[in-house]
Structure 1
Amino acid sequence: MEDKMKIKEVIVVEGKSDTIAVQRAVKADTLETNGSEISESTLNQIELAQKRRGVIVFTDPDFPGERIRKIISERVPGCKHAFLPKKEGIAKSGKGLGIEHASCEAIRLALGKVKEEMEDPDEIIPWEDLIAAGLVGGSKAKQRRELLGEVLNIGYMNGKQLYKRLKMFQVSKEEFSQAMRRVLQEEK
């Protein structure tokens, strides 16, 4: 039997199926939000986990998953975030998207590339740079943001969320430029 990667932090997932998938891939404790209506009790547990061991938010790469991530980030500052690329979370049947459908390898890869939130971040990438790069407004903006999210390992997001995440994860101008070169190469 192979030795599983051990995660010190508590991993916040959406439900029981996600817990099963994560625990199949790594040794870790999880906390389940039980969907996008996170209770006050669950938020209190996440706050306690963050104080004692740290928290990794690992939600599905879809709208409800992003909503949960945002609620937790606003309530519990300083969390770490793991992002599963959409293509890794699609069910074999094609019906369903989420961590529960991802391979153990994809889960380990996502948890191995955790990003840490920075409190009171400085503005690094100006909004104008996002517009100039074709990431906001324009026929290829959504596709470019999706690719950029994969390259930087910060997940998919709309333009405003991209701006916030670049800031939150302190992505440097150099990192951003390198990632955009890759995005433009893959676009061809």
Structure 2
Amino acid sequence: MKIREVIVVEGRDDTAKLKQAVDADTIETNGSAVNDAVIKQIRHAQAKRGVIIFTDPDHPGSRIRHIIDHAVPGCKHAFLQRDDARAKNDHDNSLGIEHASPEALRQALRNVYTLAGDEPAQINREDLIAAGLIGSAEAGARRERLGELLQIGHTNGKQLLKRLSMFRISKGQFNQAMNQVLQEEDDERKTNSNT
């Protein structure tokens, strides 16, 4: 699988792992202190070939993504699911692209999103509360599964509404994914009650 855009990753290990999965060029941020030289390089890549931001599904990765997205508008975004990014046999439970399988990396790159502009949101906070995505005991697990289904990454309650809007998730897409989340919960409850 050849990728036309330049992929922005956090470090050398991410580049090495990506090269096992796809044919692509990368720019490495070398951590969360993204400097002006790296931003300049990313701007140049965006102008020439386009950019895909592909950072780890953790807080530092989200911070890097935000910094780059703010400094270089129009970048595309790839998200790796947290379960796919977990280190195998790792005692500190670190998350990172370098731990993912080549197939998980290819799948994340197949589901690349371009962020939306300032369009009005179709989904509001009340929808999130009604769906139990904010303020319920199941909220965290539901947000994680919803993020997997919609390929928008893992979010907290505050980030979810913004992410849904940024990725132009329609009310129909949201409702379909939430129906699947609720059906899976119901199926799990039935399975657990039968055992």
TM-score (norm 2): 0.91
Computed over aligned residues only, the root mean square deviation of the Cα atoms, in angstroms, reads: 1.0
1:8–1:53 Cα contact (<8 Å) kept: yes
Give how far 1:8 is off. 0.4
| 1:80 alignment partner in structure 2 | 76
Matched to 1:82, the amino acid is A
3-state DSSP class of the match of 2:122? coil
3-state DSSP class of the match of 1:12? strand
Greater Rg over alpha carbons, structure: 2
3-state DSSP class of the match of 2:42? helix
Give how far 1:187 is off. 2.1
Structure 2 counterpart of 1:40, from 36, 39, 42: 36
CA distance in 2, matches of 1:119, 1:75: 15
Unaligned residue ranges in structure 1 (runs of 5+): none
CA distance in 1, matches of 2:90, 2:176: 33
Matched to 2:27, the amino acid is L
Matched to 2:165, the amino acid is K
| 1:132 alignment partner in structure 2 | 130
Give how far 1:121 is off. 2.2
| 1:112 alignment partner in structure 2 | 110
Establish whether residue 57 from structure 1 lines up as the match of residue 62 from structure 2.
Answer: no
Unaligned residue ranges in structure 2 (runs of 5+): 187-195
CA distance in 2, matches of 1:138, 1:44: 43
CA distance in 2, matches of 1:157, 1:38: 22
CA distance in 1, matches of 2:176, 2:136: 21
CA distance in 2, matches of 1:94, 1:152: 28
CA distance in 1, matches of 2:85, 2:64: 17
Establish whether residue 151 from structure 1 lines up as the match of residue 146 from structure 2.
Answer: no
Report percent identity of matched pairs: 59
1:26–1:108 Cα contact (<8 Å) kept: yes
Structure 2 counterpart of 1:171, from 169, 172, 181: 169
Residue range with higher mean Cα deviation, 29-38 or 119-128: 119-128
| 1:23 alignment partner in structure 2 | 19
CA distance in 2, matches of 1:121, 1:26: 33
3-state DSSP class of the match of 1:31? strand
| 1:100 alignment partner in structure 2 | 98
CA distance in 2, matches of 1:26, 1:147: 26
1:77–1:119 Cα contact (<8 Å) kept: no
| 1:14 alignment partner in structure 2 | 10
CA distance in 1, matches of 2:159, 2:39: 22
Matched to 2:179, the amino acid is R
Structure 2 counterpart of 1:187, from 185, 188, 191: 185
